[in-house]
Amino acid sequence: MLLRLAWRNLWRNPRRTAIVLAAVAIGIAGSLLSMAVNYGMVDQMVRTAIETELGHIQIHAVGWEDDPKLERMLADGGRAAEHVLASGPELRASTRRVRVDGLAISARGSAGVAVMGVEPDREPAVSVLRDALLDGEWFGQSRLRAVIGQALADQLEVDVGDKIAVSVQDALGELTGGGFRVAGTFRTSSSDFDRSTVLLRLAEAQQLLALGGAVTEVVAVARDDDEIDALAQRAVKSLGGTAEVRTWSELQPLLLYMVQTFDMMAWYLYAAVFIAMAFGIANVLLMSVHERTREIGMLRAMGMRRGQVIVLVVLESLLVTIVGVVSGLGIGFAGALALRDGIDLSAFAEGLASYGVAPRIAPVLRPSDLLIPLVVAGITAGLASWWPAIRATRYRPAEALRRS
């Protein structure tokens, strides 16, 4: 009965209610879209890092994280780690790599680079590097081929087919190097990665670095984001102290921090929007309660308790807010759907790439985008209505009935 009365009371003054509803709905829709685009950007940074280099988890020899030197290698070629990973249901794909710092030199320039030996046939299952090919081919059939970032190619002033020298320190501590012909160039969403990466075949990198069959890391991706922790835990449990197992968030804590910061920002943004709205809601309720002083006196005379009158006013506030929030979420979701192919920011492509963000950003909506506005709105509506509700019951019934 209180709910029915509260709902009908809202529509006594449809224009006033519509203004409150519109304010709540527009605030929510704007916040939702803004958060979705921002989170889309962060999500893309994380995806870029995972898909170009990190994978979901990496397994290294013990001590690699503190001091990534070639002597800290997986001497069995990562076979044990891959066996453990493949023994459960969570794994989508894995591959082995060798990674070492080095120098890339061309006839016209040089650059400090990360030299990565990859398995050409398995690497595409864990990263987007082959799909990011801009020119040339993914290693091809000939020996001693390299695939490099287009930004690095530009810096070295080389094209596909040109030769570069790669200089590194091998596992024995000796400076060594080799010549490789550029088979292809790639462009990912991370300009840093493109500027500093040389990919070689794993076997050729092992030979160059005098590693024998050893690798420096095993990279794996889980079937689903929710399975990353389970995959990592199984690897930790099985490999024990013989290897270091790290998830992407442990390898790049800054990315995790950014995700957490944006999660927190959502609460602050919605709280700010609703605190502003709370004053509007309270104002409308105060007017509405003031206009109904006599009627509230009548309700009390009929036997309605003070607490029931308070609940009635709180319900009116909750209803108008919830209808506004649901409408706002609907508009926001529709907006996000309309922008699902992404917002074209190619005018800022260079700047975005330096943060690992592609020039087209698609909004990303999460369950919390539904939950947070509802929770914050519920709390705000309750608080905003408290004062009007108390005012509604401040008079004894006789005094309220006397007022016009």
Q: Which residues bind another protein (CB under 8 A)?
A: 1, 5, 8-9, 11-12, 294-295, 298-308, 396-399, 401
- Please name the helix (run of DSSP H) or strand (run of DSSP E) that holds residue 240, with its range, or none: none
**Beta strand 133-136 with 175-186: parallel, antiparallel or unpaired?**
antiparallel
- Of 3 and 275, nearer to another protein (C-beta) is 3
- Of 359 and 397, nearer to another protein (C-beta) is 397
Nearest of 158, 157, 149 to residue 128 by alpha carbon: 149
- Of 241 and 303, nearer to another protein (C-beta) is 303
- Minimum CB distance to another protein, residue 23 (Å): 23
- Of 114 and 323, nearer to another protein (C-beta) is 323
- Minimum CB distance to another protein, residue 368 (Å): 37
Dig out the tokens for 288 from the structure: 């509405």
User: Helices (H) and strands (E) in the chain — how many of each?
Assistant: 14, 12
- Of 201 and 292, nearer to another protein (C-beta) is 292
- The C-alpha atoms of residue 148 and residue 195 are separated, in whole angstroms, by 8
Residue with tokens 């308790």: 305
- Minimum CB distance to another protein, residue 24 (Å): 22
Q: In degrees rounded to 5, what are phi and psi of residue 215?
A: -130, 165
- Of 8 and 83, nearer to another protein (C-beta) is 8
Residue with tokens 């680079």: 113
Single-letter code of the amino acid located at 307: G
- Minimum CB distance to another protein, residue 344 (Å): 50
Rounded to a whole number of angstroms, the distance between the first and last alpha carbons of the chain is 25
- Please name the helix (run of DSSP H) or strand (run of DSSP E) that holds residue 367, with its range, or none: helix 367-392
Work out the burial of residue 167: count CB atoms within 10 Å of its CB; fewer than 13 is exposed, 13-18 middle, 19 or more buried. middle
- Of 237 and 290, nearer to another protein (C-beta) is 290
Strand partners, 103: 112, 167
- Minimum CB distance to another protein, residue 302 (Å): 5
- Minimum CB distance to another protein, residue 12 (Å): 6
Work out the burial of residue 337: count CB atoms within 10 Å of its CB; fewer than 13 is exposed, 13-18 middle, 19 or more buried. exposed
Dig out the tokens for 38 from the structure: 């921002």
Q: How far is CA 234 from the centre of its chain?
A: 25
| Contact between residue 153 and residue 13 where contact means Cβ atoms under 8 Å apart | no
- Minimum CB distance to another protein, residue 295 (Å): 7
- Of 235 and 285, nearer to another protein (C-beta) is 285
Helix axes 253-291, 306-338, angle to 10 degrees: 130
Dig out the tokens for 110 from the structure: 């040089």
- Minimum CB distance to another protein, residue 402 (Å): 8
- Of 303 and 367, nearer to another protein (C-beta) is 303
- Of 225 and 399, nearer to another protein (C-beta) is 399
Helix axes 14-49, 253-291, angle to 10 degrees: 180
- Minimum CB distance to another protein, residue 322 (Å): 19
Listed in sequence order, the residues at least 6 apart from 185 whose beta carbon sits closer than 8 Å to its beta carbon are: 133, 134, 135, 136, 147, 148, 149, 150, 153, 160
- Minimum CB distance to another protein, residue 392 (Å): 15
- Minimum CB distance to another protein, residue 277 (Å): 25
- Of 8 and 143, nearer to another protein (C-beta) is 8
Dig out the tokens for 62 from the structure: 């013990």
